[in-house]
Each structure stands twice: as structure tokens, then as C-alpha cells.
Amino acid sequence: MINLNKKGNKMINQKFETEMIVRPSELDYNGHVHQSVYLDYLLFARVDQMQRCYKMPIEEFFKRGLSWTTKSVSIDYLKSLYMNERFLVQTWIESIGEKSVNVHFQIRKKTSGAVSAQGESTYVLVEAKSGKPVAIPEDIKEKFSI
């Protein structure tokens, strides 16, 4: 059964995790991870999970002359991460539209499971040369529909 949201877009929800550790260069003046670094964590996790979990590495998009661009990101910062702290970046595709994918995420402390940050991001598939949005091919939608 395929779940559809209010706009008629396919809903997925399979969750995947990537483990990471806080590095010294990611800290701000207050000794915790700077807010901008959370976007790097999300990007790293998505690239890792596209290859490892969806079996669709980013290089496959490049070979097709395609790429992803970020349309929007919303992050709620809840608990700080500190030097050498291990954490998990969990993402899941909430819905797949004609040209975009809505991804939800949580960044959790590995030891306690406490949520450090959570949010969502919408990515649009684009033609790499022109940067113009294109329809997501059916084979890609199928790979993302696990």
C-alpha cells in the first residue's frame, strides 16, 4: 500500500541512521556544536544513506546529469552536542513529489537517546547543467520507496 499525503504525494517513512562524532572544528565559542554544522551533519548522513541504504549513490545522479538542491530547511535545536560526543543522524523520506523529496530528521545523542535537533528539509532534483528542476525518474522513486 502506498501512503499519500494531502497533496497526493507518496509517503515513505523507512528510517535510517548514520553514526558520527563531534570534531573540534565544529565547536563554537560556547564549547558546543555551532548551529550551522547541523546542516553538514544532515548532508553527510543523506549522502551516506543514499549509497548504503537506498543503493543510489550521489555519483549515479551525476552520471545522469542530475543533482539535488535544497529548497528549504527547518531545524529545532533542543540539546547541545559537545566535543567527542557520539550521535546518530536519523533520516526518513516523508514524501516524494513530482520534482522534490521531503526528508525529516532527528539528531540524537548516542548514549542517552536525547534529541539534540530535529527538523525537515525539501530537496529538489535538478538538471546539473541548467539548475532547472526536473521530474524524479520512476526508478529513483522506486529506490527511495523502501
Closest to 62 in 3D by CA, of 138, 128, 141: 128
CATH architecture of 3-144: Roll (3.10)
H helix or E strand, kind and range, residue 37: helix 37-52
Domain boundaries, the chain: 3-144
3-state secondary structure of 41: helix
- How do the pLDDT tens digits run along the chain, 146 residues long? 244 455 555 546 789 999 999 999 999 999 999 999 999 999 999 999 999 999 999 999 999 999 999 999 999 999 999 999 999 999 999 999 999 999 999 999 999 999 999 999 999 999 999 999 999 999 999 999 87
Distance of CA 92 to CAs 1, 11, 42, 122, 131, Å? 18, 10, 11, 12, 25
**pTM of the prediction?**
0.88
